[in-house]
Amino acid sequence: METMRRTKIVDVLKSTDFGATVNVRGWVRTHRSSKAVDFIALNDGSTIKNVQIVVNTSTTDEQTLRQITTGSCLSVTGTLVESQGKGQSVEIQCKDIKIYGLCGSDYPMQKKGQTFEYMRQYGHLRLRTNTFGAVFRIRHHMAIAIHQFFHDRGFFYFHTPIITASDAEGAGQMFQVTTQNLYDLKKDEKGKIKYDDDFFGKMTSLTVSGQLEGELGATSLGQIYTFGPTFRAENSNTPRHLAEFWMIEPEVAFIDLNDLMDLEEDFIKYCVQWALDHCQDDLEFLNSMIDKTLLERLRSVVSGSFKRLTYTEGIDILKEAVAQGHKFEFPVSWGMDLASEHERYLVEEHFKRPVIMTDYPKEIKAFYMKLNDDNKTVQGTDVLFPQIGEIIGGSVREEDYGKLMEQIEERHIPMKDMWWYLDTRKYGTCPHGGFGLGFERLILFVTGMQNIRDVVPFPRTPKNAEF
């Protein structure tokens, strides 16, 4: 019996080969006993749906049967039959059960209605629940969608380094990479750490963005995208920040601000539509269990157009809201960085749809953004989403060597490790631009989950690197 080939539950549920003998393997979701038969709902992760195993209690050792509780792992061989019960089309009349592993009553994932906060303590086991199964199947499909979108449009997948000596965002919130003995750091006369003996012979960190190297790729291959892990050491304990997250960064030669916004909008809509097309069962589950407005929200994003406006127009709307009596925690004035409450007001209350904001004051944006003729604003673009806030940050890049140097000097950015970046402006410079999409923020939106810690299998946040 045991040598029989396993069929995945997703395929069993689609089968109409009634009378055939099948073998399924998976984990017990529930086990109910009635007089003559037991019902075991088995799940193997291939789908959110369980297959029902019907066990005739007279033919199975009762002692064994009673030990099979939620979380136990089984191999079941039986006959595929049309189901009499509601909510399922097929079930398996059990002929043989092999127990791979029983699961004690102390199994932490068995109770219904456990909070996500509780489940985070069991990062190794929460994966086996329905919700996390749905989330991580969707996460997989989103990664495929992203590659498909760019591949279809002639972008090349370009790998940028994870260890870097440059600070792309100029914010300095980086994790250092070193092989130095931290108990015996070598310092110079001024007390500064000597990196000469360190592995790379200079100070290095985990990357905060692949953009700078991505720009090198775009000035060779025309249009590239990166998709990789990204690290930020900012101490942001919010439901939208991770210390380790994944970012997708397309970079395109000869693109202007309008085409860049079109690319951003097309990209997100494509991903959301992909989820609607490929993740129906999981989305329906999340819609019923997590957020009743999820499907409606996803459909409205793909069918409507995003609102485009400048930062200055946005500030005017926020000022008007204040004048009408709306209370914000942080005061509104031109030049300020928008707080999440401001972004969400514009998206959720004022426009009631995604917003693409452009032309920010240069002081609140990175050094590489293209300066407008007003000398005050830059061609940056953020995409703001309902419930998420910023999901994309991007810009047209400053391609003029002199202007770029001016920004670098104004900000006192140490450029000794970025000479190669400046060379792109020296040798055959070209207009170009790109953006970064936070993968987990996209997954937050698509799944309706509330906390970014629940859309990455093993979250890294301040004071937390368990699992």
If the CB atoms of residues 393 and 459 are measured against Mg ion, the closer one turns out to be: 393
Query: Of 167-206, which residues contact ligand 4AD (CB under 6 A)?
Result: 168-169
Binding residue for ligand 4AD, selected from 91, 198, 213, 249, defined by CB under 6 A = 249
Stretch that binds ligand 4AD, among 18-26, 123-131, 330-338, 388-396 (CB under 6 A): 388-396
435 binds ligand 4AD (CB under 6 A): yes
Q: Which of 74, 92, 247, 456 binds ligand 4AD (CB under 6 A)?
A: 247
Shortest CA distance to 240 belongs to which of 436, 465, 392, 440? Answer: 440
Residue 211 binds what, of Mg ion, ligand 4AD, none (CB under 5 to 8 Å, by partner type)?
ligand 4AD
Considering CB distances under 5 to 8 angstroms, the limit depending on partner class, which of Mg ion, ligand 4AD, none binds residue 44? none
Residues binding Mg ion: number (CB under 5 A): 1
Q: Under a CB-based contact definition with an 8 Å cutoff, are residues 215 and 421 in contact?
A: yes
Q: In this complex, which beta carbon is closest to ligand 4AD, that of residue 78 or of residue 436?
A: 436
For residues 392 and 398, what is the distance between their CA atoms, to the nearest angstrom? 19
Q: Which stretch binds ligand 4AD (CB under 6 A): 99-107, 119-127, 334-342, 384-392?
A: 384-392
**Closest alpha carbon to 399 in 426, 439, 420, 419:** 426
Question: Least distance in Å: CB of 426 to ligand 4AD?
Answer: 21
Smallest separation, CB 73 to Mg ion (Å): 44
Positions in 360-399 near Mg ion (CB under 5 A): 393
Q: Is 436 in the site for ligand 4AD (CB under 6 A)?
A: yes
| Residue 210 interacts with Mg ion (CB under 5 A): yes or no | no
The item of Mg ion, ligand 4AD, none sharing an interface with residue 169, based on CB under 5 to 8 Å by kind, is: ligand 4AD
232 binds, among Mg ion, ligand 4AD, none (CB under 5 to 8 A by kind): ligand 4AD
Tokens of 124: 């190794």
| Pairwise CA distance, residues 406 & 375, whole Å | 12
Residue 448 contact partner, candidates Mg ion, ligand 4AD, none, CB within 5 to 8 A by sort of partner: none
How many chain residues are in contact with ligand 4AD, going by CB under 6 A?
22
Q: In this structure, which amino acid lies at residue 32?
A: R
CB-nearest residue to Mg ion: 393
Q: Does 209 bind ligand 4AD (CB under 6 A)?
A: yes
State which of residues 77, 129, 131, 211 lies at the interface with ligand 4AD (CB under 6 A): 211
Is residue 245 within the footprint of ligand 4AD (CB under 6 A)? yes
Q: Is 267 in the site for ligand 4AD (CB under 6 A)?
A: no
Q: Where in 437-456 is the site for ligand 4AD (CB under 6 A)? A: 438, 440-441
Please tell me whether residue 217 binds ligand 4AD under the rule CB under 6 A: no
Binding-site ranges for ligand 4AD (CB under 6 A): 168-169, 209, 211, 232, 241-242, 245, 247, 249, 390-395, 434-436, 438, 440-441
Binding-site ranges for Mg ion (CB under 5 A): 393
